[in-house]
Structure 1
Amino acid sequence: MTGSAQQYLATHPGANQVVMAAYGQPRGEAASNIRNYFTAHPNEYYDLRGILAPIGDTERQCNVTALPPHLESAYHEFMAG
């Protein structure tokens, strides 16, 4: 996770809680919990999406994968909305 994303989550305890809890949950449950939280808090979704967007930009521009596989799929699912 980027430093900016960590700073954002530190000031948004609800978002931080759901994201940190997702690390220990089965993938489907984690995806559902994150989706439900950010659907209910769209401003936080768009804030965090904007913070994380440069990861995808870098991957496309440099033709690289910037994240480990387990985070890569979560990242793309989050960015897709």
Structure 2
Amino acid sequence: MKIAEAARTRRTLGICLGAITAGLASAVIAAPAAIAAPDCSQDNIDATVATAQGQIQGYLASHPAGQKMLMTAAMQPRAQASQTLQAYAQANPQEYQEFTGILAPLGTLQKQCGVQVIPPQYQWAFDQFVG
């Protein structure tokens, strides 16, 4: 009887330890998700948009060819504007990468918070440019 009781006790302890371990593992896996929860407050949205706008203006001021391309694309029919964006990105891969890096937080904000921060008439260009 004592051997059977000892085996049952070990099995019970094993099950309890397994449950505790699984619980801790779940907590460790869930912790980064909880920490990484997006801040969708209006203050954060406004701050992110303002920061991006300032960076965009500064970047375009120092890259007049990029600014000219965007102004040209804005005046073109969508199909032609799409070609203009693609051609510029292919001809200037470093500028394309830098500019998409500036724009990326706006895309992230839209996806995570379900808000529209890009004017709807330019969303197609944003999607094409950022990807």
Q: TM-score, normalized by length of structure 2?
A: 0.58
More helix as a share of residues = 2
What TM-score, normalized by structure 1, do the two folds share?
A: 0.90
- What does residue 32 of structure 1 align with? 83
Long gaps (5+) in structure 1: none
Structure 2, unpaired ranges of 5+: 1-51
Partner in structure 1 of residue 113 of structure 2: 62
What is aligned with 2:98?
47
Structure 1 outlier segments of 4+, above 6 Å: none
Q: Which has the larger radius of gyration?
A: 2
For 1:41-74, what per-residue CA distance to the aligned partner results, in whole angstroms no more than 9, with x for missing partners? 0000000000000001111221111122111111
Q: Secondary structure at the match of 1:53?
A: helix
The answer to whether residue 69 in structure 2 is matched with residue 18 in structure 1 is: yes
2:56 is matched with 5
Give, in whole Å, the separation in 1 of the partners of 2:57 and 2:89: 16
Identity of aligned residues (%): 39
